[in-house]
Structure 1
């Protein structure tokens, strides 16, 4: 099947099964990217929570509750989220380990089987599903 453009066309000799397999690997990596985004949101939210907690401690102190403020500050403000780790360390370990390994395998497979091309499976699906010649169904932005 002819694809949208050279950047998304099936390399010569690539079988349907190969295109589908590489598409499935890319789909899995997209899930990893989504999980990575959630991990970064977790990192940002925990950081924001710790800063807000510090403000709450200050307000408790100002309101005349220094013992409670001291207890919370000592136990929670700046506390590790996991053993020995703040969230930036979790993000870095994930990025440097599992994420990097997954990204490298995804790239290596695309290089070996798709001449480095991305989204070949999806591009072919677009060609199959779109209504050729209908506005809003153009193959590429250049066709608009």
Structure 2
């Protein structure tokens, strides 16, 4: 095995630094969007959990003799849309099928068109610059990838 990145992480012949850097920024933007998507799914899950816990709280209020307040919570808040006409699953679906799908499509198209589909070229080159060649734990790739 040579101590160099695999072909999937080596820039194609003729690719200039500006293109590698631009694709690196595009990859970074996608990573930020993936994080945002995770937070959106977290919001979706937490909102659902809060709604079920709210229903339990209303039941406990009723059991404690506060039926009027429990009724109002159940009627006005339990199961309520988080934005007009939508629960969070609908927000997640719209996001995934619209903005997120287009974001991923265009990032993939740029990689395919400019780098033969190769991912993380900018980061792979940073790794080559920053690692200590020949030092344990600084290998270019796993030994199993030889």
User: Do these two structures clear the TM 0.5 threshold for a shared fold by scoring above it?
Assistant: yes
**Runs of 4+ deviating beyond 2 Å:** none
1:43-122 aligned at under 5 Å gives the runs 43-122=44-123
Provide the C-alpha distance between the structure 2 equivalents of 1:44 and 1:32, rounded to a whole number of angstroms. Answer: 18
Provide the C-alpha distance between the structure 2 equivalents of 1:132 and 1:31, rounded to a whole number of angstroms. Answer: 30
Gapped runs of 5+ residues in structure 1? none
In structure 2, the residue matched to 1:24 is 25
Contact 1:11 1:114 in 2 (8 A): yes
1:5 and 2:1 are equivalent in the alignment: no
Provide the C-alpha distance between the structure 2 equivalents of 1:92 and 1:3, rounded to a whole number of angstroms. Answer: 42
Gapped runs of 5+ residues in structure 2? none
Provide the C-alpha distance between the structure 1 equivalents of 2:4 and 2:101, rounded to a whole number of angstroms. Answer: 30
RMSD across aligned positions (CA): 1.5
Contact 1:58 1:69 in 2 (8 A): yes
The 1:140–1:87 alpha-carbon spacing in structure 2 relative to 1, beyond 3 Å, is same
In structure 2, the residue matched to 1:131 is 132
In the alignment of these two chains, the number of paired residues is 143
Shift of 1:34: 0.5
Contact 2:51 2:78 in 1 (8 A): yes
Contact 2:128 2:140 in 1 (8 A): yes
1:140 and 2:131 are equivalent in the alignment: no
Provide the C-alpha distance between the structure 2 equivalents of 1:46 and 1:55, rounded to a whole number of angstroms. Answer: 14
